[in-house]
Amino acid sequence: MLYLWFSPKVKTLLAEGINRPRKGHDAGDHPPITPMRAASEAELGSDGWRLFEYITRHFIATISADCKYLQTTIACSVATERFTCIGKTVISPGFTEVMPWQSIPLEESLPICDRGDLFPVSEVKLLEKQTCPPDYLTEAELITLMEKHGIGREMVLSSGTFSLRGWKGSFFR
């Protein structure tokens, strides 16, 4: 059961104190979705359970400590070319303990080295690649950008962006 897995984490949060939000604002539209009691998959069904688990994980993450990591940059020169590589090593996982999909991937860590270390060049390749256009914005990303730039009317923002379809730019006059 989910709540059994989270029980030690929640007890630690209650003992050490919750991490209060430092950014954001109350838009006044509705309170955040908050889990109110323990539940089981048998009680909620498969889809309901997945939703409940996500809401619970997200809520616990919002009051958990920040994820702390050390960012390292390695710069090196090969002949006349300069290369840099940036990696991250987790110091304290914080909220990513309950939202592991938000954690820093292990492949982002770099080997330990000191300034002035020499490394042999084992292979040289020239790769030609092409960038791709960015993905479409999600509804949440669009609303966030609209709020940030003061675009739109409160009525439209509260009812969702689905009402924007077919307006063909008249909304942005």
Q: pLDDT digit string (tens) for 89-101?
A: 899 999 999 999 9
121-144 mean pLDDT: 88
Which own/partner pairs from 46-53 qualify as long-range (CB within 8 Å, at least 24 positions apart)? 49/2, 52/2, 53/2
Q: Where in the chain is the domain with CATH 1.10.290.10?
A: 8-63
pLDDT at 1: 53
Which own/partner pairs from 68-73 qualify as long-range (CB within 8 Å, at least 24 positions apart)? 68/92, 68/94, 69/104, 72/110
To the nearest whole percent, how much of the chain has pLDDT over 70? Answer: 83
52 burial level (CB within 10 Å; 0-12, 13-18, 19+): buried
Q: pLDDT digit string (tens) for 9-28?
A: 888 888 988 888 777 777 67
Q: pLDDT digit string (tens) for 49-62?
A: 888 889 999 999 98
CATH superfamily of the 8-63 domain: Topoisomerase I, domain 4 (1.10.290.10)
pLDDT band at 155 (very low <50, low <70, confident <90, very high): low
145-159 mean pLDDT: 67
Give this prediction's pTM.
0.61
Question: Which alpha helices (H) appear in 19-134, and where do they start and end?
Answer: 41-62
pLDDT at 156: 52
6 burial level (CB within 10 Å; 0-12, 13-18, 19+): buried
Q: What are phi and psi of 77, to 5 degrees?
A: -120, 135
